[in-house]
Amino acid sequence: MRIIKTNTYEEMSVLAANMIGGQVLLKPNCVLGLATGSSPIGTYKTLVENYEKGILDFSRVQTVNLDEYCGLSGDNPNSYRYFMNHHLFDHINIDKANTHVPNGNAVDLEAEAIRYEKFIESIGGVDLQLLGIGHNGHIGFNEPTTYFPKDVHTVNLTESTINANSRLFERREDVPTQAITMGIGTIMKANKILLIAGEDKTDIIEKSLYGKVTPEVPASVLQLHKDVTVIICKKK
């Protein structure tokens, strides 16, 4: 495991984008696992800039997102499909048909979870998975629990996660209470994992990387992965 500390959010974003860009250059038809939230916005901005400079070509890349809220359509500004289009996909030469986000608006969420898990396997798995981390240690929407969920599944969001995400919604009651997410097992199958986090996550990062491996701190499982890079910025 590599741990890199940066002085600024911008420096963290550039380093993360360079790592993702390196994966694209090494394997132009790679599968990128992508995340949402405030942490990766700068990373996506830098990837767009590198594409515009002619450094990166995304025409053969496929992407699979970690998660999606249940009950939101892809054109809802609070959905993660909308987030990805707005911050990345609309600004690079990727084929939108090769960008994949779980369908949180599916009639049968259990069937959608099974479909998404099988789909990731069918394209050969994830070459590089980008992660953020919640204050309670969640990765994707895998909340603290008594076991590590293996596959893609639906989850009831904790009050702390709902509160943290409510800043993005007009009203707290508008925040979905469920999400569909890659399981811990799905995430751990990625060949490489890149986790980025701000200074406000220092305590949970330390607990996750140096504490006991336990589903009560979902990110602690990353200690068992063969190739993890963690980039932490001091301030944003």
Domains annotated on the chain, with CATH: 2-233 (3.40.50.1360)
Length of the chain: 236
Active-site entry in 50, 87, 105, 138: 138
pTM: 0.94
Model confidence at 221: pLDDT above 80: yes
pLDDT of residue 170: 73
Residue 10 among the catalytic residues: no
Give 218's DSSP letter: G
Active-site entry in 18, 76, 98, 136: 136
Residue 135 among the catalytic residues: no
pLDDT of residue 163: 83
Place of tokens 């993360």: 16
Q: Measured between alpha carbons, how far is 191 from 32 in angstroms, rounded to an integer?
A: 10
Across 53-66, average pLDDT: 98
Residues 132-150: tens digit of each pLDDT: 999 999 999 999 999 999 9
Model confidence at 154: pLDDT above 70: yes
Across 61-82, average pLDDT: 94
The interaxial angle of helices 41-52 and 80-87, nearest 10 deg, is: 40
Residue 143 among the catalytic residues: yes
Q: Measured between alpha carbons, how far is 182 from 78 in angstroms, rounded to an integer?
A: 19
Active-site entry in 50, 65, 67, 68: 67
Residues 189-216: tens digit of each pLDDT: 999 999 999 988 989 999 999 999 999 9
Task: Specify the pairing of strand 67-69 against strand 178-181.
Answer: antiparallel
Active-site entry in 143, 153, 165, 191: 143
Structure tokens at 140: 């994707």
Which of these, 98, 35, 99, lies nearest to 68 by C-alpha position? 35
